[in-house]
Structure 1
Amino acid sequence: MARELDHHCPDCGQERTFYRAAATELHLGQKTKWYCPECGFGFVRIDGDIDSTASA
């Protein structure tokens, strides 16, 4: 699994490189926590399909 992810950061307002903070296996798939080192914004992805930034 990659340790870096390019993703839009809503706090910074631009594309940033997020870093993986943690990962664990759930019944839904792999849950991965990502954070922006520039501002500290974090989000969760589950199995690459479910993204918590969509609910923000």
Structure 2
Amino acid sequence: MATELEHDCPECEEEQTFYRAAATNLHLGLKTKWYCPECDYGFVRVNGDIDSSTA
């Protein structure tokens, strides 16, 4: 699994490199927490399909 992810950061208002903070297997799939080192904004993805940054 990758430890870096290019993603738009709503706090920095530009694309940033996010780093994986944690990963856990759930009954829904793999839950991964990502954070922006510039502003500490974080979001969660579950199995790559569910993304809390779009909520």
- Residue 5 of structure 1 is matched in structure 2 by 5
The structural deviation recorded for 1:40 is 0.2
Q: How does 1:36-51 map to 2 (within 5 A)?
A: 36-51=36-51
Between the two proteins, the alignment pairs up a number of residues equal to: 55
Runs (4+) off by over 3 Å: none
Cα distance between partner residues in 1 of 2:54 and 2:16: 16
What secondary structure is seen at the aligned counterpart in 1 of 2:2? Answer: coil
Letter in 1 for 2:18: F
Among the aligned pairs, what percent are the same residue? 71
Offset from partner CA, 1:8-43 (integer Å, 9 cap, x none)? 000000000000000000000000000000000000
Amino acid at match of 1:51: D
What CA distance in whole angstroms lies between the structure 2 residues aligned with 1:37 and 1:49?
23
> Which one-letter code corresponds to 2:54 in the other structure?
A
Inter-partner Cα distance in structure 2 for 1:44 and 1:13:
18
